[in-house]
A = this chain, B = another copy of it.
Amino acid sequence: MLRPYYLRKLSSCFLPTFCTYKTSAIPELTQVRYKIKRGNYGELQDKDVTFFESLIGATNILQDCQDDLHGYNVDFLRSVRGSSKLVLRPGSTQEISEILKYCNQRRLAVCPQGGNTGLVGGSVPVCDEIVLSLARLNKILSIDDITGIVACESGVILENLDAKTREAGYVVPLDLGAKSSCHIGGNVSTNAGGLRVIRYGNLHGSVLGVEAVLANGQVVDLMSDFKKDNTGYHLKHLFIGSEGTLGVVTKVAILCPAISDSVNVAFLGLNSFDAVLKTLKNAKRHLGEILSSCEMIDASSLAATTENFNLKSPIEGFPFYMLIETSGSNVEHDMEKLNGFLQLVMEKGDVADGTYTSEPGKMLEIWKLREFIATALTKDGYCFKYDISLPLRSFYEIVKVVDKRVGHLAKRVCGYGHLGDSNLHLNVSCPEYSPELHKQLEPFVYDYTSELKGSVSAEHGIGFLKTKYLAHSKRPEAIKIMRDMKLLLDPNGILNPYKVLN
């Protein structure tokens, strides 16, 4: 039976943001844990710091000798730790150009960093690379009220960009758990996916233009005010998803869809994965153009948020849950569609229980159950995260297989994610990093995914942590072209070294 939404007042509703997340556990240095040989790069000297000070001012430079660089050296998951001694915080494209030109000449390695919310160790140094923080490039440049095209600098925080865009009647076609910290430039550089790819597609479709700075300091202006521009090779795509290894994204132009007057969220309980799949198919068919999210959460994932953040789920006791969101332009039409869909899936017996709401506060409470999972799992201690694309027919099998394999070594083995995009987040949490568990999980998970012809990184990227497994999803001839392109655009290999290609 469908019940109107009710949540008891949460006794401790803590909104985790990625930037404020703190832990006492400090990961081992990446160079040590992963036995990384430092590349043949220049060593930082006093004269370099003097040059950077003259360029961007001493106040925009952080040094190991006087500042705490921990937040720049350690990733959100505490999986990796670099040993950078210098953080540069330039304020303009031109300054970044000068910095890179200098670094390229001196062969100083550079790690571009946005909100440092990446989950594959791509946004922190591996060794002693200079951190190039984009945080001061935080200006929104224009919002076109007829076309919905938004132009901004790359260091704008996603949530801030979305808030300003909404004021103009549009929404940023990208939403993800880290929105309060992540930068739009980082999102573009990693081709971030998130919660609404099912509705708005990926960033290759919605990013209309970028400005990027190459390793040699050359600024490449590929900004655009247009949805259509077929003049020559579509170079902007080189910088979308290449994780800062081909250039540093400094500006982006994004096509934003109109804001939806009507938003609904349903939270459903289901007794089998087969029922989940049937419900997905019915959601696509019956919610059609208003379906804006279709997420799956298994019982173990839900338990992580309810336990670790003391949240209360409106329904309980099911092996699977689905969070379905609709966004449309007409409240009555959308409600009628949602009611029709819910009635159908209840009558069919695919959905056993559920609740739905259109009240913003209550929708937020439901979304927290999904969005806090990633953070909740790290509160278990340490979390091995796998972000994979799998054929829907085999989507959940891997969670069961992995549970059988390592369940006794783990605190939690769980699966959740963007079902509508065939994108599973398989997570294994434990009290602290365990080499034994690591060994049991890798390469097993990647081999398993590869055998199903899945993708070993659906939306998180390769970063540092997955370089070994790139060949599980990319063929040798493609990797060869990647290497050639890296050599073409960054012959000295100074941009985000040890990442993507190793």
Chain B min CB distance to A46 (Å)? 33
Contacts of A288 in B (CB 8 A): 258, 260, 328-330
Interchain CA distance A205-B222 in the complex, whole Å = 18
Report the separation of the CA atoms of residues A326 and B41 in the bound assembly, to the nearest whole angstrom.
58
> Among the listed B204, B229, B485, which residue makes an inter-chain contact with A473, where contact means beta carbons less than 8 Å apart?
B229
Q: Say yes or no for A147: interface residue by CB 8 A criterion.
A: yes
CB-based contact B241/A230 at 8 Å = yes
Residues of B within 8 A of A456 (CB): 231
Question: A202's contact among B218, B227, B286, by CB below 8 Å, is which?
Answer: B227
B228:A454 contact, CB within 8 angstroms: no
Cα A501 to Cα B329 in complex, Å, equals 45
- A205 contacts B197, CB within 8 Å? no
Taking residues whose C-beta sits less than 8 angstroms from the other chain, chain A's interface range is: 35 or more
Q: Which of chain B's residues have a CB closer than 8 A to the CB of A202?
A: 205, 227-228
Contact B329 A228, beta carbon cutoff 8 Å: no
Instruction: Mark out the residues of chain A between 230 and 256 whose CB falls within 8 Å of any chain B CB in the assembled complex.
Output: 230-235, 237-238, 240-242, 246
B232–A500 CB distance below 8 A: yes
Judge if A482 is at the interface, Cβ distance under 8 Å.
yes
What is the 8 Å Cβ interface bit string for chain A, positions 331-360, against chain B (1 contact, 0 not)?
Answer: 001001100000000000000000000000
Within 452-502 of A, Cβ neighbours of B (below 8 Å) are at 453-462, 466, 470, 472-475, 477-479, 481-482, 484-485, 488-489, 500-501
User: Is A285 at the interface (CB under 8 A from chain B)?
Assistant: yes
**Are A455 and B336 also in contact (CB < 8 A) when A234-B241, A284-B258, A481-B235 are?**
no
Distance in angstroms between the alpha carbons of A233 and B236 in the assembled complex:
12
Please report the C-alpha to C-alpha distance between residue A330 and residue B338 in the assembled complex, in whole angstroms. 12
A14 at the interface (CB under 8 A from B): no
A53 is an interface residue with CB less than 8 A from chain B: no
With known contacts A221-B477, A234-B191, A226–B337 Cβ distance under 8 A: no
Stretch of A54-62, A406-414, A417-425 that contacts chain B: A417-425
Q: From residue 54 to 86 of chain A, which have CB atoms closer than 8 A to chain B?
A: none
Cβ of A191 and Cβ of B230 under 8 Å apart?
yes
Q: Which residues of B contact A330 (CB under 8 A)?
A: 288, 333, 336-337
- Assess whether A225 is interfacial by the CB under 8 Å rule: yes
User: Closest Cβ of chain B: how far from A27's Cβ, in Å?
Assistant: 23
Judge whether B231 and A473 touch: CB under 8 Å: yes
Query: Is A289 positioned at the interface, with any CB of B under 8 Å from its CB?
Result: yes
For residue A389, CB closer than 8 A to chain B, the reply is yes
Q: How far is the CB of A7 from chain B (nearest CB, A)?
A: 29
Chain B minimum-CB-distance residue to A204: B204
Which one, B201, B233, B280, B285, contacts A238 given CB within 8 A?
Answer: B233
With contacts A205-B204, A228-B458, A290-B289 taken as known, whether A235 is within 8 angstroms of B281 at the C-beta atoms is: no
| Residues of A436-461 contacting chain B, CB below 8 A | 453-461
Contact at A391–B231, with CB atoms within 8 Å? no
Q: Find residues 282-307 in chain A having any chain B CB closer than 8 Å to their own CB.
A: 284-290
Does A155 interact with chain B (Cβ within 8 Å)?
A: no
Q: Is A111 an interface residue (CB 8 A)?
A: no
- A271 contacts the other chain (Cβ, under 8 Å)? no
A138 in contact (CB, < 8 A)? no
When C-beta atoms are compared, the residue in chain B nearest to A467 turns out to be B232
Whether A157 is near chain B, meaning CB under 8 Å from some CB there, is no
Across the interface, A232 reaches (CB within 8 A) one of B201, B233, B285, B478, namely: B478
Cβ-defined contact, A220 with B290, below 8 A: no
State whether the Cβ of A224 lies closer than 8 Å to any Cβ in chain B. yes
Kindly report which residue of chain B lies nearest to residue A481, judged by CB atoms: B235
Q: Tell me how far the C-beta of A463 lies from the nearest C-beta in chain B, rounded to whole angstroms.
A: 10
In the complex, 12 of the A-B residue pairs with CB atoms within 8 angstroms, ordered by the A residue number, are A147-B392, A201-B206, A220-B475, A224-B455, A226-B421, A231-B470, A232-B462, A233-B500, A258-B285, A288-B328, A288-B329, A484-B488
